[in-house]
């Protein structure tokens, strides 16, 4: 089968543009009701229960999961099951967030009718205002899009905008609660992401002197190169007699020096080529913080680890932090 490549790419590009615009449009919906919902969740008056049907139900599941990840007492709530015996889960002070693009989903309307007499607050995240749910709700979160991204009316822009709006609410709650990456790591101990968020430089660094090349400033560059070969970390730390850090020299420094000067470079003292007072970090620094140090203001690939007296304890490599890219993108 041969596909019409131009038509396929045009359709995909159009969808991405439409969905991106739909998300940006939601900035206008960040109003007082949005703030009231954030305030209620942060006030921990009760549980936050999130419900939806169909595609909105899939968004609701992820929304509840993210709220739980930042420490909110949040759960996905099956609207259908609630109408068949599980309304007893609802307690006064709870917040019920109902997701419906139309604002008319009958199962959600029925749940709202049953919840409010129990002292449950209702927030309606809907695409249409006014609608049955928006009229019933204590707070309305309007997630309106002009149109879906295709003529088939397949939920595209509406579900993407709803998911983005839910994320905005999660981040707003996290900001108000002062939630940090360290907190997230405690709630997410499993998998690569958990390892990364819970890691400290002490766990990842190559320890001196057994696994790090330590050289004096007067040592010939040839000997420093041999020491770096015995301890292949891509760099050597230049230290005084008490292992206090004086500078850093990398294999790249040596290659560039040889290209510029020639083999005579190898007879020179290491101090001639070292970077004095390099960027450093202390033990107890989180891996995420160390990565930020290595990337700003300009990227470096090794980071000496020192104590309060600037004595060398180890060396952290960008390679050791490779898994931290997962932490920036994992959901």
Count of Cβ atoms closer than 10 Å to residue 299 Cβ: 8
- Tell me how far apart the alpha carbons of residues 42 and 64 are, in angstroms, rounded to a whole number: 14
pLDDT at 163 exceeding the cut of 90: yes
| % pLDDT > 70, the chain | 92
- The answer to whether residues 93 and 73 touch, using CB atoms and an 8 Å cutoff, is no
What angle in degrees, to the nearest 10, is found between the helix axes of 32-43 and 157-177? 50
Indicate the pLDDT class of residue 74, thresholds 50, 70 and 90.
very high
**pLDDT grade, residue 331 (50/70/90)?**
very low
Indicate if the pLDDT at residue 330 is higher than 60. no
Please report, for the chain, how many H helices and E strands are present, in that order.
Answer: 14, 13
Element holding 122 (H helix, E strand): strand 121-126
State pTM to two decimals: 0.68
Dist. CA 140–CA 221, nearest whole Å: 69
Lowest mean pLDDT among 104-108, 164-168, 202-206, 319-323: 319-323
Q: What are phi and psi of 49, to 5 degrees?
A: -115, 130
Nearest in space to 233 (alpha carbons), one of 300, 316, 294, 306:
316
Query: At a CB cut-off of 8 Å and minimum separation 6, what does 203 contact?
Result: 287
Token pair in block for residue 270: 């290491």
Query: Token pair of 211, please?
Result: 């696994």
Nearest to 202 by CA among 112, 91, 281, 293: 281
Q: How confident is the model at residue 197 (pLDDT cuts 50, 70, 90)?
A: low
d(CA 252, CA 258): 10
- Check pLDDT > 90 for residue 185: no
**In sequence order, what are the beta bridge partners of 270?**
none
- pLDDT for the residue numbered 151: 86
| 122 φ/ψ angles, rounded to the nearest 5 degrees | -120, 130
Residue 203 confidence (pLDDT) above 60: yes
- 39 has pLDDT over 50: yes
Query: How much is the average pLDDT of 284-299?
Result: 85
The mean pLDDT of the chain is 90
CB 87 within 8 A of CB 114: yes
Q: 23-61: b or e for each residue (b if 16 or more CB lie within 10 Å)?
A: bebbeebeeebbeebbebbeeebbbbbbbbbebbbebbe
Q: Can you list the domains of the chain with their CATH numbers?
A: 5-178 (3.40.50.10490), 201-329 (3.10.580.10)
Check residue 85 and give its pLDDT.
83
User: Per residue in 2-19, pLDDT tens?
Assistant: 999 999 999 999 999 999
Distance CA 249, CA 255 (A): 11
Total residue count of the chain as it appears in this document: 331
Give yes or no for residue 181 having a pLDDT over 80: no
Q: Residue 199 — pLDDT band, cuts 50, 70, 90?
A: confident
Distance CA 191, CA 323 (A): 11
Q: How far apart are CA 135 and CA 137, in angstroms?
A: 6
CB 268 within 8 A of CB 218: no
Region 64-89 average pLDDT:
91
Residue 241 has pLDDT above 90, yes or no: yes
- Interval 204-227 mean pLDDT: 93
Q: What is the mean pLDDT of residues 98-114?
A: 96
**Per-residue pLDDT averaged across 137-161, rounded?**
93
Cα distances (Å, whole numbers) of residue 300 to 79, 100, 204, 292: 52, 48, 17, 10
Helix ranges restricted to H, the chain: 5-25, 32-43, 55-69, 79-82, 106-115, 132-136, 157-177, 181-187, 191-197, 201-204, 221-230, 251-261, 287-295, 324-329
């Amino acid at each position: 089968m041969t596909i019409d490549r131009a038509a396929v790419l045009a359709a995909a590009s159009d969808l991405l543009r439409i969905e991106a615009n739909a998300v940006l449009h939601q900035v206008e919906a960040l109003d007082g009701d949005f703030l009231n919902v954030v305030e209620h969740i942060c006030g921990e008056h009760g549980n936050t229960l999130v419900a939806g049907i169909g595609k909105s139900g899939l968004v609701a599941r992820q929304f509840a999961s993210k709220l739980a990840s930042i420490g909110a007492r949040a759960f996905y709530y099956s609207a259908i099951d609630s109408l068949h015996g599980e309304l007893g889960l609802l307690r006064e002070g709870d917040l019920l967030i109902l997701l419906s693009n139309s604002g008319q989903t009958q199962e959600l309307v029925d749940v709202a009718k049953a919840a409010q007499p129990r002292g449950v607050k209702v927030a309606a995240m809907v695409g249409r205002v006014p609608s049955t749910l928006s009229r019933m709700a204590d707070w309305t979160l309007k997630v309106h899009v002009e149109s879906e991204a295709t003529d088939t009316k397949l939920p595209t822009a509406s579900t993407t905008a709803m998911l983005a709006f839910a994320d905005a609410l999660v981040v707003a709650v996290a900001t108000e609660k002062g939630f940090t990456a360290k907190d997230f790591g405690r709630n997410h101990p499993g998998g690569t992401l958990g390892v990364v968020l819970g890691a400290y430089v002490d766990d990842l660094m190559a320890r001196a002197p057994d696994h790090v090349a330590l050289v004096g400033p007067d040592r010939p560059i040839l000997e420093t190169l041999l020491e770096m070969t015995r301890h292949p970390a891509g760099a050597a730390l230049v230290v005084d007699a008490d292992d206090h850090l004086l500078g850093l020299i990398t294999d790249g420094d040596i290659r560039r020096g040889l290209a510029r000067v020639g083999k005579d470079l190898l007879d020179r003292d290491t101090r001639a080529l070292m970077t004095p007072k390099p960027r450093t970090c202390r033990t107890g620094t989180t891996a995420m913080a160390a990565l930020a140090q290595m990337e700003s203001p300009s990227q470096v690939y090794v980071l000496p680890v020192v104590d309060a007296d600037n004595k060398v304890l180890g060396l952290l490599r960008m390679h050791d932090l490779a898994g931290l890219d997962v932490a920036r993108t994992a959901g």
